[in-house]
Amino acid sequence: MPNGSLVKQPNLDQWLAIGADGRVLVRTGKVDIGQRISTALTLIAAEELDIDPTRIDIAAVETDVAPDEGVTSGSNSMEESGDAVRRATATARKHLLALAARQLGVAEDALDIVDGLIRARATNRSITYAELAGGKPFGIPVDQTAKTKDPKSFKHVGTRVTARGMADLVGGSAKYVHDMQMPGMLHARVVRPPHYHATLAKLDDAKFKSAGLGIVRDGSFLAVAGPDEYAVLKGAERLAAAATWDRGKGLPEGDLFKNLTANERVSLPVIKGSPVKEAVPALPAPPANAAVTHQARYERPYNMHGTIGPSAALAKFENGQMTVWTHSQGIYVLREAMAEALDMPIEAIRVIHAIGAGCYGHNGADDVALDAALVARANPGKPVLLKWTRDDEHAWEPYTTAMVMELQASLDASGKVLAWSHESYGDTHNMRPRSTGNKSGAARLLAARYLADPVPPPVATPSMGHHVGIHRNQEPLYTFDNQRLVKNLVRGLPLRTSAMRTLGAYANVFALESFIDELAEAGGLDPIALRIRNLADQRAIDVIEACNTALNRDKKPAGYGRGFGFARYKNQKTYCAVGIEVSVNDAAEVKLHRCVIAADAGEIVDRDGIAAQMEGGVLQAASWTLYEEVKYDRDGITSRDWDSYPILRFDNVPEIETILMERPGAPFLGAGEASSGPAAGAIANAIKDATGLRLRRLPFTPEAIRAAAYR
């Protein structure tokens, strides 16, 4: 099957270069945000080229230099860039062997390669990659049919390695966009309105007197800039005191979860993982031969990314050219949106990825890039480093939408699911700054809506792709009969939303896997056996059995509960089963003791990288499940720090065992988001096992557990 990234960028020189010193430069359009894609690409290139990984460099990702691979999202990096680099380096190996054969006067199959040295076995004559191609372009297309290495011969792929940049991270010498310095650089801070709908009514200049600081005002966009960062911070406080805001009607209030199912909405049936523009079928009566029919409703609040380091960007506007350093996950789509917002030609904008605080999803990185560019435009020739504050990050990033999931199913006496209905309700998960014309990309950047010539925020349209947005992982991998799946894009909800790790999959799998345990209990069946009874995919069964065996090999301590969850992310990526062991103390606090993860991610390239993705996904999901909820009122967001938005701490991290299924030669399956949904279902089921309480509204705080106990 053709690789889409190579279809867009077919030339080998767009992916690979060999320097005069023999070092290999690999180019990718995927940015490393902690998922270790640069490490995996290094191993792939080292394998195909038979060169030591230490002699491989991964190029910085910047517009007009890196391949355009869209956004680093959706667990697509290995399937897209990993596969592209494998085919590109296989092409380079084939090409270099042909050149060497001509130079050495032997057949290609008479050659061996050791660390970039090609040697003729019979004559012992040799030539290096540098001598053949160092400093010169390849000038050939990538051969998508080039033969790649046999997994039996692998020396690098699948081995345990230290991640690229890990020594700098551990040693504290890693440099982030926040640390960048340039001659003559200004620092800047934005002064925010109280909430989305407020506009700047008046600015009392008499209250803002700060030598050396400048104000940038464009409509209701307000910022302060100067050479000293501390002075800028204090100046921003004074500027905030000088601003008077028209608060308008404020944020919509009312019962969020009631409004999710009562508000105006666009409703579409989902068939084989994709929405269709047809009437939604009515919920049918249970089948005549049903032994059990069960219904339940599950709820998820708004969650934030909550990156430990707030977003930041550096911008410089000089001679009509704008250069921006950013930790955005999509430099090309951001460039297009910024061109719209700044009314600049796209070729006048250069976007360079720089390391920031790790984030899987659409946090403030794109927004702060435009903030910095606006201040830089007002200060031509001066580099501007603009950092969001913790208050900015918590209160202004795009959140993941609150959701409601309503499920109903019927079961026969043998454990076969005869009918299945799953409706999901929520706002959009897809507001990354992609442009479809008419300034639609700019409309998705925060500052654009506050300019003197504002770009109104867009009205979301339903995502119609396979397992996208609200309906991601709504379709079960299980072989349930008579499936009725419905996505509901709800209007009039209060908060700004976009993509966060897994999109709708976390909430949908939480509901689905909780409901399977409820269905098993109603039918008097074992929940693991019920899952396997309704699966036809042997790889799914393998991870379930591996996880269940490992979880149950030790005797469960008295008072503890065990729970289980499973999914295949998007029904096409990594298979993952999660088992959790918990207790609930007298203060109604959930303690996580032990976790087993079994995953099948196809061929393993970076073993520790996949394990880290699985384990990190479980921990983030545990935080969402037990602690996290964005709170707000009419006057704005009230969750503005780590006290008002608590997250999982080190004192509740369980012991984790990760089992990776060996699939040498199998296609790569994206692993970054596979464990989150199963973890939520497992925790819910473990709490039920420990306490007898079935919790359906996230998060499972002590208050929620006590309320359930007294119902």
Domain boundaries, the chain: 4-149, 178-249+305-396, 403-428+463-709
CATH fold label, 4-149 = Aldehyde Oxidoreductase; domain 4 (3.30.365)
What is the pLDDT at residue 374? 98
Q: State the Cα–Cα distance between residues 323 and 311, nearest whole angstrom.
A: 17
Is beta strand 655-660 parallel, antiparallel or unpaired with respect to 590-600? parallel
Cβ-based burial of 282 (10 A; exposed 0-12, middle 13-18, buried ≥19) = exposed
Helices (H) and strands (E) in the chain, counts: 17, 27
What is the pLDDT at residue 357? 84
| CB of 648 closer than 8 Å to CB of 679 | no
| Both structure tokens of 290 | 């049903």
409's enclosing H/E stretch is strand 403-411
| Both structure tokens of 207 | 């209250």
Residue type for position 589: E
| Both structure tokens of 633 | 């009122």
| CB of 157 closer than 8 Å to CB of 603 | yes
| Other CB atoms within 10 A of residue 335 CB | 29
Q: Helix, strand, coil % (nearest 5) of the chain?
A: 35, 25, 45
Q: State the Cα–Cα distance between residues 484 and 506, nearest whole angstrom.
A: 20
| CB of 681 closer than 8 Å to CB of 512 | yes
Q: Which residues contact 366 (CB under 8 A, 6 or more apart)?
A: 326, 328, 330, 334, 337, 432, 433, 444, 445
| Other CB atoms within 10 A of residue 234 CB | 15
| Both structure tokens of 73 | 């999202």
Distance of alpha carbon 385 from its chain centroid, rounded? 25
Sequential DSSP letters for 334-385: HHHHHHHHHT--GGGEEEEE---S--SB--SHHHHHHHHHHHHHTSTT--EE
How many CA atoms, within 13 angstroms, populate the side-chain half-sphere of residue 287? 18
| CB of 372 closer than 8 Å to CB of 315 | yes
Q: What's the alpha-carbon Rg for the chain, to the nearest Å?
A: 27
E strands along 533-675, which residues?
561-568, 575-584, 590-600, 632-633, 636-637, 655-660
| Other CB atoms within 10 A of residue 432 CB | 22
Same CATH fold, 403-428+463-709 and 178-249+305-396?
yes
Q: State the Cα–Cα distance between residues 616 and 163, nearest whole angstrom.
A: 15
Residue 380: is the preceding peptide bond cis (ω within 30°)?
Answer: no
Q: Which residues contact 623 (CB under 8 A, 6 or more apart)?
A: 647, 648
Low-confidence stretches of the chain (pLDDT beneath 70): none
Q: pLDDT digit string (tens) for 145-183?
A: 999 999 999 999 999 999 999 999 899 999 999 999 999
Q: State the Cα–Cα distance between residues 33 and 308, nearest whole angstrom.
A: 13
CA distances from 667 to 67, 132, 326, 573, 662 (A): 22, 32, 32, 10, 12
CA distances from 361 to 196, 364, 397, 432 (A): 21, 10, 11, 9
| CB of 456 closer than 8 Å to CB of 443 | yes
| Both structure tokens of 607 | 């073993």
98's enclosing H/E stretch is helix 83-104
Q: How far apart are the first and last CA of the chain?
A: 55
| Other CB atoms within 10 A of residue 390 CB | 14
Q: pLDDT digit string (tens) for 300-330?
A: 999 999 999 999 999 999 999 999 999 999 9
| Other CB atoms within 10 A of residue 287 CB | 15
| CB of 469 closer than 8 Å to CB of 504 | yes
| CB of 105 closer than 8 Å to CB of 38 | no
Sequential DSSP letters for 3-31: -HHHHHS-BGGGTEEE-TTS-EEE--S--
CATH fold label, 178-249+305-396 = Aldehyde Oxidoreductase; domain 4 (3.30.365)
Burial 209-228 (b: 16+ CB within 10 A, else e): ebeebbbbbbebbbbbbbee
Q: State the Cα–Cα distance between residues 493 and 460, nearest whole angstrom.
A: 12
| CB of 666 closer than 8 Å to CB of 602 | yes
Indicate the DSSP class of residue 148: P
What is the pLDDT at residue 523? 96
| Both structure tokens of 705 | 């557990």
- Report the SS3 class of residue 291: coil
| Both structure tokens of 155 | 């020396």
Thinking of the domain 403-428+463-709, which architecture would CATH place it in?
2-Layer Sandwich (3.30)
What is the pLDDT at residue 359? 86
- Which one, of 494, 485, 489, lies nearest residue 461 by Cα? 489
Task: Let me know how long the chain is.
Answer: 711
Q: Which residue has the tokens 């009515």?
A: 282
- Which one, of 96, 166, 164, 92, lies nearest residue 131 by Cα? 96
